[in-house]
Amino acid sequence: MLPSSPHLVNRNIALERAIGDLEVLLSKTEVGEADFQRFFEAHTCAFEALGYSSFIPHVRLRTSQGDLIPDFLVRRVDGTYEICDIKTPGERVLKRVKNRTEFYAKISTEYAGQLRCYGEFFDDRASTILFEKEYGIVVNKSPNRFLVIGRDDGIDRYELHKILKSRGMEFSIVTYDDVVRSLRWALAMNDFGEEKQYGVTINTVIQLIEPSDSPEYLFDFFEPKTGERFSMISLPNCSFRIILNNGKGREDVFSIESLGGRKCSDWHHIQFMLGANSEYSRCELRVDGVFVESREWAYNFFWRRGANYARRLIGSDYCGQNGAAIRISYFKIHNHYINLSERKIEERVCLSRLDDLGKGKVSFLTLEKHLFLSIGYWEGTKVPIGQAVEAFYDFVDPLEMSSDVLIDRGIGASGDSR
């Protein structure tokens, strides 16, 4: 599908060039930080793909001990600022030390110290007054900071999140694979043209209790009128499968074979996004914050405009059969393909929930094989459990079902809430 305006055509060209140039840089061995800094300066769409509207390179933060010079001061769409330092893709981020995962020393000492100093500068009123006079902009106190560093290989996002949180490190990590994917995501979203993309996005924190000898449904969404179906099942070999069927003979299957070294029976955050317009469809799968797979089709995956399935069941198929024994701590549905900022928010919420579950700080809902949730949802009603309900409704976007909300609605006694 071709974009529908010159602006979109020009943006596509810029994105394609950025992707190509970055992949060339990543294929080379003799490159340094300066090469990647020049890449970000030359390709403004790279920071845009990461969710920023503009940037200033190499601002000077003047202090009595000398100038601090972060690589980039980047502006979010909401007007707040963040600080970015660029490192090389060859740097390693995490290492195993006996029975634990740790940062490499350079990250936990030198880089963390640099980022901390940047934040402290903007906490000092006298310093920020001088900065405002020199650059003509007002930067928020304690701006978020992040490193662009390393590759996905060897990074466990869940472990990374735990380390940052436990150490009180107020920065985040963006890998070069994240940058490439964000550019590709922006290009794909551009190909939706000026139409608003639609579809469905699932974010869930879920645990499989008892793998069985036959496939079991973790959730199943079905529209009887059109035959559209969107399902996730667990398999006997402790893998997962997501199945998409548009009711017109087109079916696609995603297999999740690897879970970052953790067991199928551990808690996991699963994020699946499916979006389409009249001539184009795209989906993407992530597990525990790690990109697994994306696919694109040169046709609209759906019969009609939207994906508001009439039957939505969690813990069984749409007929209330072939149920899985699962625990749910979070389940949220958007009826569109979420954008980058929404994805990051969901990722932070769910990874924090995984961490808190490990510490016994949050509750969950247990669904045995004979129990399931049927989401026939009208605003203000309770979510019934243990019965199949076919419901046609005006879809509430987003529909959030954390275990706390479920229990507050009085259904905890039907399952085993903890």
Output the DSSP codes for 325-351: -EEEEEEEEESS---HHHHHHHHHHHH
CB count in 10 Å sphere of residue 29: 5
Determine what percent of the chain is predicted with pLDDT higher than 70: 72
Q: Which of 20-34, 189-203, 218-232, 274-288 has the highest mean pLDDT?
A: 20-34
Please give the average per-residue pLDDT across 362-375, as a whole number.
67
**Rounded Cα–Cα distance for residues 109 and 57 (Å):** 24
Q: How far apart are the first and last CA of the chain?
A: 49
Which of 67-76, 96-105, 248-257 comes out lowest in average pLDDT? 96-105
Q: Residue 293: is its pLDDT beyond 50?
A: yes
pLDDT tier for residue 356 given thresholds of 50, 70 and 90: confident
pLDDT attached to residue 391: 29
**Rounded Cα–Cα distance for residues 147 and 172 (Å):** 6
Residues 215-232 pLDDT 10s: 888 888 887 777 888 888
* More confident: 103 or 24: 24
**Rounded Cα–Cα distance for residues 108 and 167 (Å):** 9
Strand ranges inside 247-394, DSSP E: 251-256, 268-276, 281-287, 290-297, 311-314, 326-334, 365-367, 373-374
* More confident: 375 or 82: 82
3-state DSSP assignment of residue 92: coil
pLDDT attached to residue 100: 66
Please give the average per-residue pLDDT across 145-157, as a whole number.
82
| Single-letter amino acid code for the residue at 157 | R
DSSP state, residue 157: H
Mean pLDDT of the chain: 75
Rounded to the nearest angstrom, the gap between the alpha carbon of residue 20 and the centroid of all alpha carbons in its chain is 24
Which of 293-302, 366-375, 393-402 comes out lowest in average pLDDT? 393-402
pLDDT attached to residue 166: 67
Q: Torsion-angle region of residue 117: left (phi > 0), alpha (psi -120 to 50) or beta? A: alpha
What are the structural domain ranges in the chain? 6-179, 195-417
Please give the average per-residue pLDDT across 9-18, as a whole number.
82
pLDDT tier for residue 345 given thresholds of 50, 70 and 90: confident
Which of 164-173, 251-260, 276-285, 398-407 comes out lowest in average pLDDT? 398-407
Encoding tokens for residue 226?
């059109």
CB 346 within 8 A of CB 203: yes
Encoding tokens for residue 21?
């140039």
Residues 88-105 pLDDT 10s: 998 887 776 666 667 777
**Rounded Cα–Cα distance for residues 16 and 238 (Å):** 38
pLDDT attached to residue 75: 93
Please give the average per-residue pLDDT across 61-89, as a whole number.
92
Please give the average per-residue pLDDT across 379-391, as a whole number.
32
Starting at the edge strand found earlier in the chain, the sheet holding 240-245 runs 251-256, 240-245, 228-234, 216-223, 311-314, 373-374
Q: Residue 385: is its pLDDT beyond 70?
A: no
- The CATH number of 6-179 is 3.40.580
Three-state secondary structure of 204-245: EEEEECCCCCCCEEEEEEEECCCCEEEEEEECCCCCEEEEEE
**Rounded Cα–Cα distance for residues 150 and 90 (Å):** 6
CB 340 within 8 A of CB 317: no
pLDDT attached to residue 36: 96
pLDDT attached to residue 374: 60
Encoding tokens for residue 168?
């009180």
Which residues have a Cβ under 8 Å from the Cβ of 165 and sit 6 or more positions away?
Answer: 352, 355
pLDDT attached to residue 185: 76
pLDDT attached to residue 397: 32
Bridge partners of residue 286, in order along the sequence: 271, 291
Classify domain 195-417 by CATH architecture: Sandwich (2.60)
Q: Residue 131: is its pLDDT beyond 90?
A: yes
* More confident: 191 or 75: 75
3-state DSSP assignment of residue 32: coil
CB count in 10 Å sphere of residue 115: 23
Please give the average per-residue pLDDT across 187-212, as a whole number.
70
Which of 15-29, 174-188, 288-302, 323-337 comes out lowest in average pLDDT? 288-302
Q: Residue 133: is its pLDDT beyond 90?
A: yes
Encoding tokens for residue 252?
């696609």
Q: Residue 417: is its pLDDT beyond 50?
A: no
